[in-house]
Structure 1
Protein backbone atom coordinates (compact mmCIF):
# COMPACT_ATOMS: atom_id res chain seq x y z
CA UNK A 1 0.00 0.00 0.00
CA UNK A 2 1.33 3.41 -0.94
CA UNK A 3 0.79 6.23 1.52
CA UNK A 4 0.63 9.90 0.61
CA UNK A 5 3.16 12.35 1.98
CA UNK A 6 2.11 14.56 4.88
CA UNK A 7 3.43 17.99 5.72
CA UNK A 8 4.27 19.01 9.29
CA UNK A 9 5.16 22.36 10.84
CA UNK A 10 6.53 22.07 14.38
CA UNK A 11 8.27 24.87 16.31
CA UNK A 12 9.25 26.67 13.11
CA UNK A 13 10.57 23.57 11.33
CA UNK A 14 8.73 22.30 8.25
CA UNK A 15 9.17 18.76 7.00
CA UNK A 16 7.24 16.10 5.20
CA UNK A 17 6.93 12.42 5.86
CA UNK A 18 6.76 10.31 2.75
CA UNK A 19 7.62 6.85 1.48
CA UNK A 20 11.29 6.27 0.67
CA UNK A 21 12.07 6.20 -3.05
CA UNK A 22 15.05 4.77 -4.92
CA UNK A 23 16.58 8.24 -5.26
CA UNK A 24 16.86 8.45 -1.45
CA UNK A 25 19.31 5.55 -1.23
CA UNK A 26 22.57 7.54 -1.05
CA UNK A 27 21.11 10.03 1.44
CA UNK A 28 19.74 7.18 3.57
CA UNK A 29 23.15 5.53 3.71
CA UNK A 30 24.70 8.79 4.92
CA UNK A 31 21.82 9.54 7.31
CA UNK A 32 21.95 6.15 9.01
CA UNK A 33 25.71 6.40 9.40
CA UNK A 34 25.40 9.87 10.99
CA UNK A 35 22.57 8.90 13.34
CA UNK A 36 24.49 5.80 14.50
CA UNK A 37 27.38 8.10 15.48
CA UNK A 38 25.23 10.63 17.34
CA UNK A 39 23.60 8.46 19.97
CA UNK A 40 23.99 5.17 21.76
CA UNK A 41 20.23 4.61 21.55
CA UNK A 42 20.76 2.75 18.29
CA UNK A 43 21.90 -0.87 18.14
CA UNK A 44 25.00 -0.07 16.07
CA UNK A 45 28.08 2.02 16.56
CA UNK A 46 28.92 4.31 13.67
CA UNK A 47 30.05 2.25 10.68
CA UNK A 48 28.81 -1.10 11.98
CA UNK A 49 26.36 -2.88 9.73
CA UNK A 50 26.98 -0.22 7.07
CA UNK A 51 24.50 -0.22 4.20
CA UNK A 52 25.72 1.46 1.03
CA UNK A 53 23.64 3.15 -1.66
CA UNK A 54 23.07 -0.10 -3.58
CA UNK A 55 22.00 -1.84 -0.38
CA UNK A 56 19.40 0.84 0.34
CA UNK A 57 18.19 0.67 -3.25
CA UNK A 58 17.49 -3.04 -2.74
CA UNK A 59 15.75 -2.43 0.61
CA UNK A 60 13.57 0.34 -0.83
CA UNK A 61 12.61 -1.80 -3.82
CA UNK A 62 11.86 -4.81 -1.63
CA UNK A 63 9.76 -2.73 0.77
CA UNK A 64 7.82 -1.12 -2.08
CA UNK A 65 6.87 -4.60 -3.32
CA UNK A 66 6.17 -6.27 0.03
CA UNK A 67 2.61 -5.85 1.31
CA UNK A 68 3.70 -5.74 4.96
CA UNK A 69 6.75 -3.47 4.72
CA UNK A 70 6.83 0.31 4.95
CA UNK A 71 9.87 2.56 4.66
CA UNK A 72 9.27 6.24 5.47
CA UNK A 73 11.58 9.24 5.46
CA UNK A 74 11.31 12.68 7.03
CA UNK A 75 12.33 15.23 4.40
CA UNK A 76 13.17 18.85 5.23
CA UNK A 77 13.58 20.76 1.94
CA UNK A 78 15.26 17.81 0.24
CA UNK A 79 17.44 16.89 3.22
CA UNK A 80 16.61 13.60 4.92
CA UNK A 81 16.46 14.13 8.68
CA UNK A 82 14.85 10.89 9.83
CA UNK A 83 13.53 7.52 8.75
CA UNK A 84 11.40 4.66 9.97
CA UNK A 85 10.80 1.16 8.74
CA UNK A 86 8.21 -1.52 9.37
CA UNK A 87 9.33 -4.95 8.30
CA UNK A 88 6.73 -7.68 8.05
CA UNK A 89 7.02 -11.43 7.84
CA UNK A 90 6.30 -13.94 5.11
CA UNK A 91 5.56 -16.70 7.61
CA UNK A 92 1.82 -17.09 8.16
CA UNK A 93 2.11 -17.39 11.95
CA UNK A 94 3.80 -13.99 12.08
CA UNK A 95 1.88 -12.27 9.30
CA UNK A 96 -0.09 -10.21 11.83
CA UNK A 97 2.95 -8.24 13.00
CA UNK A 98 5.81 -6.00 11.92
CA UNK A 99 9.10 -5.03 13.55
CA UNK A 100 9.62 -1.28 13.72
CA UNK A 101 12.69 0.92 13.89
CA UNK A 102 13.38 4.61 13.52
CA UNK A 103 16.13 7.19 13.64
CA UNK A 104 16.19 10.99 13.70
CA UNK A 105 19.17 13.33 13.43
CA UNK A 106 20.02 14.77 16.84
CA UNK A 107 19.75 18.36 15.53
CA UNK A 108 16.08 17.63 14.85
CA UNK A 109 15.12 16.06 18.16
CA UNK A 110 12.19 17.88 19.77
CA UNK A 111 10.26 18.54 16.55
CA UNK A 112 7.97 15.48 16.82
CA UNK A 113 9.66 13.79 13.86
CA UNK A 114 9.95 10.40 15.53
CA UNK A 115 6.42 10.71 16.88
CA UNK A 116 5.00 11.64 13.47
CA UNK A 117 6.92 8.85 11.73
CA UNK A 118 5.42 6.45 14.25
CA UNK A 119 1.89 7.88 13.94
CA UNK A 120 2.03 7.50 10.15
CA UNK A 121 3.33 3.94 10.51
CA UNK A 122 0.62 3.03 13.01
CA UNK A 123 -2.07 4.42 10.70
CA UNK A 124 -0.64 2.40 7.80
CA UNK A 125 -0.44 -0.77 9.91
CA UNK A 126 -4.01 -0.35 11.14
CA UNK A 127 -5.26 0.28 7.59
CA UNK A 128 -3.86 -3.00 6.26
CA UNK A 129 -4.80 -5.17 9.22
CA UNK A 130 -1.44 -5.43 10.98
CA UNK A 131 -2.30 -6.23 14.59
CA UNK A 132 1.07 -5.91 16.31
CA UNK A 133 3.98 -3.49 15.99
CA UNK A 134 7.14 -4.55 17.83
CA UNK A 135 10.07 -2.42 18.94
CA UNK A 136 13.12 -4.52 19.74
CA UNK A 137 15.94 -3.31 21.96
CA UNK A 138 14.63 0.01 23.35
CA UNK A 139 17.45 1.18 25.62
CA UNK A 140 16.36 1.68 29.25
CA UNK A 141 17.97 5.14 29.36
CA UNK A 142 16.01 6.39 26.34
CA UNK A 143 13.25 7.70 28.60
CA UNK A 144 11.79 10.23 26.15
CA UNK A 145 11.31 7.55 23.52
CA UNK A 146 9.83 5.11 26.03
CA UNK A 147 7.35 7.77 27.19
CA UNK A 148 6.42 8.58 23.57
CA UNK A 149 5.92 4.90 22.74
CA UNK A 150 3.70 4.43 25.80
CA UNK A 151 1.59 7.46 24.85
CA UNK A 152 1.07 5.86 21.43
CA UNK A 153 -0.22 2.63 22.98
CA UNK A 154 2.98 0.59 23.31
CA UNK A 155 3.78 -1.39 26.41
CA UNK A 156 6.86 -3.18 27.68
CA UNK A 157 6.50 -6.88 26.90
CA UNK A 158 9.96 -8.02 27.80
CA UNK A 159 13.13 -7.00 29.55
CA UNK A 160 16.58 -8.01 28.33
CA UNK A 161 18.98 -7.49 31.22
CA UNK A 162 22.56 -6.52 30.45
CA UNK A 163 21.61 -6.47 26.78
CA UNK A 164 23.87 -3.70 25.47
CA UNK A 165 27.45 -2.79 26.30
CA UNK A 166 27.89 0.97 25.87
CA UNK A 167 30.94 3.19 25.59
CA UNK A 168 31.15 3.71 29.37
CA UNK A 169 31.93 -0.01 29.72
CA UNK A 170 28.63 -0.74 31.50
CA UNK A 171 25.86 -3.12 30.49
CA UNK A 172 22.36 -1.75 30.01
CA UNK A 173 18.91 -3.26 29.95
CA UNK A 174 16.75 -2.91 26.87
CA UNK A 175 13.06 -3.51 26.40
CA UNK A 176 10.88 -5.21 23.86
CA UNK A 177 7.86 -2.95 23.45
CA UNK A 178 4.77 -3.53 21.37
CA UNK A 179 1.39 -2.18 20.44
CA UNK A 180 -1.44 -4.60 19.78
CA UNK A 181 -4.51 -3.41 17.90
CA UNK A 182 -7.55 -5.55 18.72
Structure 2
Protein backbone atom coordinates (compact mmCIF):
# COMPACT_ATOMS: atom_id res chain seq x y z
CA UNK A 1 0.00 0.00 0.00
CA UNK A 2 1.17 3.50 -0.77
CA UNK A 3 2.58 5.46 2.17
CA UNK A 4 0.23 8.31 1.19
CA UNK A 5 -2.86 6.35 2.32
CA UNK A 6 -4.11 6.96 5.86
CA UNK A 7 -6.48 4.48 7.52
CA UNK A 8 -8.61 6.11 10.20
CA UNK A 9 -11.99 5.93 11.88
CA UNK A 10 -14.58 8.01 10.04
CA UNK A 11 -16.25 11.00 11.66
CA UNK A 12 -19.48 12.84 10.91
CA UNK A 13 -17.34 15.40 9.07
CA UNK A 14 -16.72 12.67 6.47
CA UNK A 15 -20.41 12.24 5.58
CA UNK A 16 -20.29 14.20 2.32
CA UNK A 17 -17.02 12.54 1.20
CA UNK A 18 -18.37 9.12 2.22
CA UNK A 19 -21.58 9.53 0.23
CA UNK A 20 -19.68 10.84 -2.79
CA UNK A 21 -17.34 7.83 -2.57
CA UNK A 22 -20.26 5.38 -2.37
CA UNK A 23 -22.06 7.11 -5.26
CA UNK A 24 -18.91 6.62 -7.35
CA UNK A 25 -18.65 2.95 -6.31
CA UNK A 26 -22.25 2.23 -7.30
CA UNK A 27 -21.90 4.22 -10.55
CA UNK A 28 -19.32 1.64 -11.66
CA UNK A 29 -22.17 -0.88 -11.90
CA UNK A 30 -19.80 -3.67 -10.92
CA UNK A 31 -20.92 -7.26 -11.37
CA UNK A 32 -19.45 -7.83 -7.90
CA UNK A 33 -21.78 -5.37 -6.14
CA UNK A 34 -25.53 -5.28 -5.59
CA UNK A 35 -26.84 -1.85 -6.61
CA UNK A 36 -28.64 0.50 -4.25
CA UNK A 37 -32.39 0.88 -4.48
CA UNK A 38 -31.86 4.63 -4.20
CA UNK A 39 -29.20 7.04 -3.03
CA UNK A 40 -29.61 8.29 0.52
CA UNK A 41 -29.76 11.97 1.37
CA UNK A 42 -26.79 13.55 3.10
CA UNK A 43 -28.86 13.74 6.29
CA UNK A 44 -29.59 9.99 6.07
CA UNK A 45 -25.87 9.31 5.64
CA UNK A 46 -25.05 11.50 8.66
CA UNK A 47 -27.70 9.72 10.72
CA UNK A 48 -26.35 6.29 9.74
CA UNK A 49 -22.76 7.36 10.40
CA UNK A 50 -23.77 8.71 13.82
CA UNK A 51 -24.56 5.12 14.84
CA UNK A 52 -20.97 4.09 14.02
CA UNK A 53 -19.17 5.71 16.94
CA UNK A 54 -16.81 2.82 17.61
CA UNK A 55 -18.70 1.57 20.65
CA UNK A 56 -20.39 -1.29 18.80
CA UNK A 57 -20.30 -0.24 15.12
CA UNK A 58 -17.59 1.62 13.22
CA UNK A 59 -16.54 2.90 9.82
CA UNK A 60 -12.91 3.11 8.76
CA UNK A 61 -11.83 5.12 5.74
CA UNK A 62 -8.71 5.03 3.62
CA UNK A 63 -7.78 8.59 2.72
CA UNK A 64 -5.27 9.84 0.18
CA UNK A 65 -4.72 13.53 -0.51
CA UNK A 66 -8.04 14.49 1.07
CA UNK A 67 -10.05 11.97 -0.95
CA UNK A 68 -11.52 8.64 0.16
CA UNK A 69 -10.05 5.68 -1.69
CA UNK A 70 -11.62 2.95 0.44
CA UNK A 71 -14.08 2.28 3.23
CA UNK A 72 -15.02 -0.55 5.52
CA UNK A 73 -17.98 -0.55 7.83
CA UNK A 74 -18.84 -2.89 10.64
CA UNK A 75 -22.51 -2.50 11.44
CA UNK A 76 -24.30 -4.03 14.39
CA UNK A 77 -27.59 -5.66 13.44
CA UNK A 78 -29.52 -4.11 16.33
CA UNK A 79 -31.60 -7.17 17.16
CA UNK A 80 -31.19 -8.76 20.61
CA UNK A 81 -30.64 -12.36 19.44
CA UNK A 82 -27.80 -11.35 17.10
CA UNK A 83 -26.15 -8.61 19.18
CA UNK A 84 -22.98 -10.70 19.34
CA UNK A 85 -22.56 -10.39 15.55
CA UNK A 86 -21.69 -7.57 13.20
CA UNK A 87 -21.95 -7.20 9.42
CA UNK A 88 -19.05 -6.09 7.24
CA UNK A 89 -18.98 -4.07 4.02
CA UNK A 90 -15.73 -3.22 2.19
CA UNK A 91 -15.23 -1.03 -0.90
CA UNK A 92 -12.14 0.30 -2.67
CA UNK A 93 -12.17 2.96 -5.39
CA UNK A 94 -11.50 2.05 -9.02
CA UNK A 95 -7.82 2.56 -9.79
CA UNK A 96 -6.90 1.90 -6.16
CA UNK A 97 -7.73 -1.81 -6.06
CA UNK A 98 -5.01 -4.44 -5.67
CA UNK A 99 -2.73 -1.98 -3.87
CA UNK A 100 -3.23 -3.27 -0.31
CA UNK A 101 -5.93 -0.79 0.70
CA UNK A 102 -8.57 -3.46 1.27
CA UNK A 103 -6.09 -5.47 3.33
CA UNK A 104 -5.20 -2.42 5.47
CA UNK A 105 -8.88 -1.60 6.02
CA UNK A 106 -9.63 -5.20 6.99
CA UNK A 107 -6.68 -5.24 9.41
CA UNK A 108 -7.99 -2.05 11.08
CA UNK A 109 -11.49 -3.51 11.28
CA UNK A 110 -10.34 -6.79 12.81
CA UNK A 111 -8.09 -5.01 15.29
CA UNK A 112 -11.08 -2.93 16.41
CA UNK A 113 -13.30 -6.06 16.53
CA UNK A 114 -10.81 -7.70 18.91
CA UNK A 115 -11.29 -4.81 21.39
CA UNK A 116 -15.12 -4.91 21.56
CA UNK A 117 -15.97 -7.49 24.20
CA UNK A 118 -19.66 -7.92 23.25
CA UNK A 119 -18.82 -8.88 19.67
CA UNK A 120 -18.03 -12.50 18.84
CA UNK A 121 -18.64 -12.76 15.10
CA UNK A 122 -18.29 -10.82 11.85
CA UNK A 123 -20.36 -11.91 8.90
CA UNK A 124 -20.65 -10.84 5.29
CA UNK A 125 -22.07 -11.77 1.93
CA UNK A 126 -19.92 -11.62 -1.19
CA UNK A 127 -20.96 -12.25 -4.79
CA UNK A 128 -19.41 -15.46 -6.10
CA UNK A 129 -17.65 -13.74 -9.01
CA UNK A 130 -15.64 -11.48 -6.67
CA UNK A 131 -12.60 -13.76 -6.43
CA UNK A 132 -10.23 -11.05 -5.12
CA UNK A 133 -12.54 -10.26 -2.19
CA UNK A 134 -13.14 -13.93 -1.39
CA UNK A 135 -9.38 -14.53 -1.44
CA UNK A 136 -8.79 -11.55 0.88
CA UNK A 137 -11.43 -12.67 3.36
CA UNK A 138 -10.13 -16.23 3.39
CA UNK A 139 -6.56 -14.98 3.92
CA UNK A 140 -7.79 -13.30 7.10
CA UNK A 141 -9.53 -16.45 8.34
CA UNK A 142 -13.10 -15.91 7.17
CA UNK A 143 -14.84 -19.17 6.36
CA UNK A 144 -17.62 -19.91 3.91
CA UNK A 145 -20.76 -20.91 5.77
CA UNK A 146 -23.17 -21.28 2.92
CA UNK A 147 -24.34 -20.18 -0.48
CA UNK A 148 -27.47 -18.40 -1.59
CA UNK A 149 -27.95 -19.82 -5.09
CA UNK A 150 -28.83 -17.31 -7.84
CA UNK A 151 -29.40 -14.67 -5.15
CA UNK A 152 -28.34 -11.78 -7.38
CA UNK A 153 -29.67 -11.13 -10.87
CA UNK A 154 -28.01 -8.58 -13.14
CA UNK A 155 -29.66 -8.46 -16.52
CA UNK A 156 -29.96 -12.07 -17.66
CA UNK A 157 -27.10 -13.26 -15.41
CA UNK A 158 -27.49 -14.86 -12.01
CA UNK A 159 -24.84 -14.88 -9.30
CA UNK A 160 -24.56 -16.81 -6.06
CA UNK A 161 -23.87 -15.07 -2.76
CA UNK A 162 -21.31 -16.66 -0.46
CA UNK A 163 -22.04 -16.24 3.23
CA UNK A 164 -18.79 -15.90 5.16
CA UNK A 165 -17.89 -15.26 8.77
CA UNK A 166 -15.11 -15.17 11.28
CA UNK A 167 -15.51 -16.00 14.96
CA UNK A 168 -13.48 -14.17 17.56
CA UNK A 169 -12.71 -17.41 19.40
CA UNK A 170 -11.14 -18.98 16.30
CA UNK A 171 -9.18 -15.96 15.06
CA UNK A 172 -5.55 -16.29 14.11
CA UNK A 173 -3.02 -13.45 14.14
CA UNK A 174 -3.42 -10.96 11.30
CA UNK A 175 -1.58 -11.80 8.07
Structure 1, gaps ≥5 residues long = 1-9
Residue in structure 2 matched with residue 166 of structure 1 by the alignment: 154
2:162 is paired with a residue whose SS is strand
What count of residue pairs does the alignment treat as equivalent?
167
Deviation digits for residues 76-118 of structure 1, max 9, x if unmatched? Answer: 0210111111111343321211001011111100111111111
Q: Secondary structure at the match of 1:68?
A: coil
Aligned twin of 1:79: 67
Decide whether aligned partners of structure 1 residues 143 and 55 sit closer, same or farther in structure 2, where only a CA change above 3 A counts: same
Normalising by structure 1, what TM-score?
0.85
Structure 2 runs not aligned, ≥5 long: 170-175
Q: Cα RMSD between the aligned structures?
A: 1.5
Please identify runs of 4+ aligned residues in structure 1 that moved more than 2 A. 89-93
In structure 2, distance between residues paired with 1:162 and 1:108: 29
The 2-side partners of 1:49 and 1:68 are apart by 26
Corresponding residue to 2:94 among 85, 99, 106: 106
* Structure 2 Cα separation of the partners of residues 54 and 120 of structure 1: 27
Q: Who is 1:120 aligned against?
A: 108
Instruction: Give the 3 Å change call, closer, same or farther, for CA 13–165 of structure 1 in structure 2.
Output: farther
Q: Which has the higher contact order (CA 8 A, sep 6+)?
A: 2
Taking structure 2 as the reference length, what is the TM-score of the superposition? 0.89
The 8 Å contact of residues 13 and 111 in structure 1, kept in 2 or not, is answered as no
Q: What are the equivalent positions in structure 2 for 1:1-182 lying under 5 Å apart?
A: 10=1, 12=2, 14-38=4-28, 39-44=30-35, 48-64=37-53, 67-129=55-117, 130-136=119-125, 138-167=126-155, 169-182=156-169
Contact 1:26 1:52 in 2 (8 A): no
